[in-house]
Amino acid sequence: MVNGYDGSRAAELPPATRELIARRERALGGAYRLFYDQPVSFVMGAGVYLYDADGNAYLDAYNNVPSVGHSHPHVTETVAKQLGTLNTHTRYLTDGLVAYAERLLATHTVGADGSGGSVAQAMFTCTGSEANDLALRIARHYTGATGVVVTANAYHGVTAALAELSPSLGPGVPLGSHVRVVPAPAPGVNFTAAVAWAISDLERHGLRLAAFLADSLFSSDGVLPDPAGFLAPVTEIVHAAGGLYIADEVQSGFGRTGTHMWGYQRHGIAPDIVTMGKPMGNGLPIAGLVARPDVTESFGRQARYFNTFGGNPVCVAAASAVLDVLETEGLPANAAATGAYLKDAATRLADLSPVLGDIRGAGLYLGIDVIAPGTPGDPSGKLAAAIVNGMRDRRVLISATGPQGNVLKVRPPLPFAREHADQFLTALQETIEAVH
Ligand code: PMP
């Protein structure tokens, strides 16, 4: 695993940390992974900082779930008040759920005419995986087809249906026979042609396309946002094949890209279904999808949908408080401004460093290629891991992504300001000087 603790530096850990790791392994088994050579334990979070038991502050340049900031007071108060008042489920009429759905829909531009808002519909789940799983069920129902096209290192979730179309889980998790994988949209790849080929390959095997499913920022493929607009021709060939375009906005949604509320809007496309999660409730389990009403119509008639916790009043209160904070604190605009500042400064650093290569990003989501010094500067997952751990030693949290684990993943909470960017850049400069 990229940035996974493997125990090789266990002897350097404080005895209390070693003991907790041992208890965790005994109690939880082998499937869980910890970050960093030297795992870190937190007791508190506030804004863009996490704190350990000794009161040391770690700059969070990694976590997108607490996207309006750790333990944001408005979210905390709104959730506490709702929890102390009423928490039921979607089989009773509650105003909050409907009001939130209306507010969320107004931010979207889905469907053929891109008019979103008044015409689209929302459904709620607890996790991004459940949202993608439901989107797939709806797409299969609508198209009568089963085929799905995803990118080479995609990750879409934990359910059985999603694990078999998440190639980033590795060779130990087989892909389904109805799944086709296309190269990630990196420079030099004709992405539209690759999707067209994948669709025709499905058809040669007697399958039809139900959906093209893609993260609008291609995060696990190494963060590939540009050029904005390259997804437009893909939607056309997906529709021509009778399939639906599902935009996975679990990573790219809720203002992260700065210029737009949703990653797909950077591409000027109008997906048929959009799935959302992670930052939606700033840490409370709320996720969901929005879709064209004609897409959900027959599914809605024929399949009953109830998700016990999905869209409960407490989670909806959190989600609605998140929208409040995004607006009142102008966080998407901050993501655009700080993101541009960070990308420029990191690019200047990379120009002078033999170990930093291409830097890509949109808003507060950056991917920084790490390369071995020399020509041509091959991707180096090993050096990336050293940088990730060196940053952690300097109390700045990042991780790595991409098929070779060689892309630094920088994805802070959205209140990340210029002073935090400067702190990050100082630590990065010190770290790259120390690792080679
Ligand atoms: N889609 C994408 C693009 C993701 O990054 C993730 C989570 N990393 C998911 C779906 C699944 O979300 P969850 O972990 O909430 O089930």
| CA 112-118-121 angle, 5° bins | 75
Query: Rounded to 5 degrees, what are φ and ψ at 114?
Result: 65, 15
Q: What is the DSSP letter of 157?
A: -
Cβ-based neighbours of 170, under 8 Å, separated by 6 or more: none
By CB neighbour count within 10 A (0-12 exposed, 13-18 middle, 19+ buried), where does 53 fall? exposed
* Radius of gyration, alpha carbons of the chain: 22
**Residue 423: which pLDDT band, with cuts at 50, 70 and 90?**
very high
Crossing angle between the packed helical segments 313-328 and 73-83, to the nearest 10 degrees: 160
One of 3.40.640.10, 3.40.50.620, 3.40.140.10, 2.60.40.420 is the CATH number of 74-328, namely 3.40.640.10
Helix (H) or strand (E) holding 291: strand 287-291
Tell me, using a 6 A CB cutoff, whether residue 111 lines ligand 1: no
Could you tell me the distance, in angstroms and rounded to a whole number, from the CA of residue 277 to the centre of ligand 1?
7
**Residue 112: which pLDDT band, with cuts at 50, 70 and 90?**
low
Amino acid 374: pLDDT: 85
Give me the residue spans of the domains in the chain. Answer: 40-68+330-435, 74-328
Q: Whole-angstrom Cα distance, residue 286 to residue 31?
A: 24
Closest-lying ligand 1 atom to the alpha carbon of residue 215: 3
Amino acid 185: pLDDT: 98
Q: Which residues pair with 248 in a beta bridge?
A: 215, 275
Tell me, using a 6 A CB cutoff, whether residue 277 lines ligand 1: yes
The answer to whether the peptide bond before residue 412 is cis (omega within 30 degrees of 0) is no
Tell me, using a 6 A CB cutoff, whether residue 255 lines ligand 1: no
Query: Mean of the per-residue pLDDT values for the chain?
Result: 95
> Can 40-68+330-435 and 74-328 be said to share one CATH topology?
no
CB 154 within 8 A of CB 167: yes
Tell me, using a 6 A CB cutoff, whether residue 215 lines ligand 1: yes
Dihedral in degrees, nearest 10, Cα atoms 374, 376, 378, 384: 50
Cβ-based neighbours of 281, under 8 Å, separated by 6 or more: 315, 318, 319, 322
pTM of the complete model beyond 0.85: yes
Mutational test site, ligand 1, from 65, 155, 273, 409, max ligand atoms within 8 Å of CB: 155
Strands 244-248 and 273-276 turn out to be: parallel
Closest-lying ligand 1 atom to the alpha carbon of residue 158: 16
Q: Which of 26-40, 115-129, 178-192 has the lowest mean pLDDT?
A: 115-129
Helix (H) or strand (E) holding 309: none
Tell me, using a 6 A CB cutoff, whether residue 156 lines ligand 1: yes
**Residue 117: which pLDDT band, with cuts at 50, 70 and 90?**
very low
Which tokens is 157 given?
Answer: 């979730």
Nearest CA to ligand 1 atom 16: 129
User: Which is it for the CA torsion 322, 129, 42, 219, positive or negative?
Assistant: negative
Amino acid 306: pLDDT: 95
Cα 386 from chain centroid? 23
Q: Whole-angstrom Cα distance, residue 99 to residue 313?
A: 11
Could you tell me the distance, in angstroms and rounded to a whole number, from the CA of residue 144 to the centre of ligand 1?
26
Count of C-beta atoms within a 10 Å radius of residue 193: 12
Helix (H) or strand (E) holding 225: none
Mean pLDDT of 138-159: 98
Q: Whole-angstrom Cα distance, residue 220 to residue 206?
A: 30
In the chain, % of residues over pLDDT 90: 91
Closest-lying ligand 1 atom to the alpha carbon of residue 287: 15
Amino acid 436: pLDDT: 83
Q: Which of 338, 412, 365, 356 is nearest to 219 (CA)?
A: 365
**Residue 307: which pLDDT band, with cuts at 50, 70 and 90?**
very high
Mutational test site, ligand 1, from 251, 257, 401, max ligand atoms within 8 Å of CB: 251
Amino acid 9: pLDDT: 84
**Residue 119: which pLDDT band, with cuts at 50, 70 and 90?**
low
Could you tell me the distance, in angstroms and rounded to a whole number, from the CA of residue 402 to the centre of ligand 1?
15
Q: Whole-angstrom Cα distance, residue 51 to residue 42?
A: 6
Closest-lying ligand 1 atom to the alpha carbon of residue 154: 3
Tell me, using a 6 A CB cutoff, whether residue 253 lines ligand 1: no
Mean pLDDT of 71-78: 98
Residue 326, SS3 per DSSP:
helix
Q: Whole-angstrom Cα distance, residue 121 to residue 105?
A: 7
Location of structure tokens 């906005």? 249
Closest-lying ligand 1 atom to the alpha carbon of residue 252: 3
Amino acid 372: pLDDT: 95
Q: How is domain 40-68+330-435 classified at the CATH fold level?
A: Aspartate Aminotransferase, domain 1 (3.90.1150)
Higher pLDDT among residues 376 and 411, named by residue: 411
Q: Which of 28-37, 68-77, 408-417 has the lowest mean pLDDT?
A: 28-37
Residue-wise pLDDT for 19-52, tens only, equals 999 999 999 998 899 999 999 999 999 999 999 9
Q: Which of 435, 277, 298, 297 is nearest to 370 (CA)?
A: 435
Tell me, using a 6 A CB cutoff, whether residue 249 lines ligand 1: no
Which tokens is 139 given?
Answer: 């797409």
Query: Rounded to 5 degrees, what are φ and ψ at 400?
Result: -130, 155
